[in-house]
Amino acid sequence: MSSAAPREETPDSNADDGSPSRAPGPGDRLCARVACGAPAVATLTADYGGSVMAVGPLSPERTPPALDLCPKHRDRLTPPAGWTLVRHDPGREPQEFSQ
């Protein structure tokens, strides 16, 4: 007889408000930033020809070469010099940032 242990609630060191979050499971999508490991909430895509980056809600499926990001890394994202960043936030008008 096999029984799976329930997932523990653990503090997420990447949460800005310090609230506990569920420990990531094997099928969960995690932030693509090295050594982050926080659950992803947004997807970043890039159009290299047009020098445009777009970040929005987590895509329904993993789509290489798009990157999944946690709230902390989504919010801190800035475009490289000469690029435009478009933020898509449901319920709000898209915002553009250029460097």
**pLDDT tens digits in sequence order for the chain, 99 residues long:** 444 444 433 444 444 444 445 666 667 899 999 999 999 999 999 999 999 999 999 999 998 899 999 999 999 999 999 999 999 987 666 566 676
pLDDT in the model for residue 94: 59
d(CA 35, CA 37): 6
d(CA 38, CA 12): 7
Q: Is the pTM of this model over 0.75?
A: no
Q: Do residues 15 and 24 touch, judged by C-beta distance below 8 A? A: no
Q: Do residues 23 and 14 touch, judged by C-beta distance below 8 A? A: no
Q: What are the residue boundaries of the structural domains of the chain, listed by start?
A: 31-98
